[in-house]
Amino acid sequence: MKKISLLGSTGSIGTQTLEVIENLGFELVSLSFHSNEALGKEQILKYKPKFVSISNEHTYEKLIPFLDSLKIKHSNEPRKAILEETEMVVNAVVGSAGLMSTVCAIEMGKKIALANKESLVCAGKLINELLEKNKEARIYPIDSEHSAIWQCFFNKKEVKKIILTASGGPFREWEYEKIKNATFHEALKHPNWVMGNKITIDSATLMNKALEVIEAYFLFSLSKEQIEVIVHPQSIVHSMVEYRDGQVLAQLGSPDMRLAIGHALTYPNRLENNFNRLNFVGKTLTFEKVREEFKSIDLSFRALEDGGTMPAVLNAANEACVEKFLNGEISFLDIQKIVEMAMNAHEKINNYTLEQVLEVDKWAKKFVYDLTT
Ligand code: NDP
Ligand code: MG
């Protein structure tokens, strides 16, 4: 029975991971969450983990007597102690808040099922250097596109390019003028996936795909010229790899994150599950170009071109903009404009340290707050 540690247990990926763990009969040894007290308590009572970490100070203080009464070890830092007894860490925290856990898990030589794409976006170069040093550690992607590429990626020398698919989000067919006034309720209606708020807004701005370009760049050690994005509204083809002889391998499946989570948890095996199966009859698969008005993907290629800490600025400025948009403080199209402004204002650091990435993350978020309040 595989021992799993789940970070971000109360989120969309977190709760689906719990379903997968149950389905596969794995053991949940520890979990972490931030502020969802009710769901956190429910999960603790149901799964009886040995260790719980709660990052929100207020929630943590409140739940200490509850954890003590159950004799569960606890902390408010989702770091070393929580990962000690596990074979595999699932990082399903949202945003750059997940970076330190990824770093810590690598340093401890753990296998990491990584949903937190922001870790790789903010500090991909550093993470790859750490993986070089800690040979036992591995990252297995949960993001469906990267899981697809991982499953189709054989001999790197023979790979011509990868093709990331994007659903196009809820505004794919909207007039540009109408998109300007899109509300957060409209942006939160993703056509194919039910996900956390931040990634749903990122899917509407195509910033999710922009982050995924950077995630793929570091995960598969590609050049930026080897990464292409195509819109595929049905979200059935999760991504593709084109080889130098012109043949293309694609991975298909129903839009159900439990499949990608299960693959990361069971690799190199494929275990039986009762998740959604794909039914081809009556399905039409279509592909189209990304609309030019959406600038996010261009910004991600620019961040890769600039290198150093620029991807961290793109990520942090976007996180702050999404928060502002969800609070009704900026408009939908302001997101891409403000992210670009933050990138223009940043003096990148090429060979950054972890401390410098964390500083840059703070700087870019403050840049957005100062500009918008
Ligand atoms: P959610 O917002 O649904 O969940 C986020 C989780 O992170 C919650 O458990 C939350 O705790 C916790 N959290 C929030 N802030 C902090 C913090 N400061 N420190 C520690 N933990 C924190 O997000 P998703 O599940 O949608 O996404 C998680 C990650 O997976 C993201 O990186 C996303 O890009 C990626 N991903 C998600 C997909 C999806 O289908 N949802 C698909 C592919 C990738 P609490 O709720 O208790 O506050
Ligand atoms: Mg994805």
Please report where in the chains the tokens 């990122």 appear, as a residue: 202
C-alpha 136 – ligand 2 centre gap (Å): 26
Given a cut of 70, whether residue 361 has pLDDT beyond it is yes
What per-residue confidence (pLDDT) applies to 78?
Answer: 64
pLDDT band at 373; cut points 50, 70, 90: confident
DSSP assignment of 180-235: HT--HHHHT--SS----HHHHHHHHHTHHHHHHHHHHHHHTT--GGGEEEEE-TT-
Distance 209 CA to ligand 2 centre (A): 7
Could you report the per-residue pLDDT of 115-152, keeping only the tens digit for each? 999 999 999 999 999 999 999 999 999 999 999 999 99
Q: Which residue has the tokens 């009859």?
A: 281
Q: From ligand 2's centre to the CA of 262, what distance in Å?
A: 15
Position in ligand 1 atom list of the atom nearest CA 13 = 25
- Interval 163-183: pLDDT, tens: 999 999 999 999 988 998 899
The ligand that comes nearest to the alpha carbon of residue 167 is: 2
What are the distances in angstroms from CA 303 to CA 33, 214, 229, 339?
31, 8, 16, 11
Does the beta carbon of 26 sit less than 6 angstroms from any atom of ligand 1? Answer: no
Report percent pLDDT > 70 for the chain.
100
Task: Give the position, in ligand 1's atom list, of the atom nearest the Cα of 144.
Answer: 43
Nearest CA to ligand 1 atom 40: 195
Q: From atom 2 of ligand 1, which residue's Cα is the shortest distance away?
A: 196
Q: What are phi and psi of 20, to 5 degrees?
A: -65, -45
Q: Strands of 159-166's sheet, edge to edge?
A: 227-231, 159-166, 237-243, 248-252
Q: What is the pTM of this model?
A: 0.98
Query: Ligand 1: does its nearest atom lie under 6 Å from the Cβ of 203?
Result: no
Specify the pLDDT at position 82.
84
Residues 6+ apart with CB under 8 A from 5: 28, 29, 30, 31, 82, 83, 85, 86, 88, 89, 90
Structure tokens given for 354: 């972890």
Q: How far apart are the first and last CA of the chain?
A: 51
- Residues 290 and 279: their CA atoms lie apart, in Å, by 27
Is there an atom of ligand 1 within 6 Å of 141 CB? no
Tell me the pLDDT of the chain averaged across its residues: 96
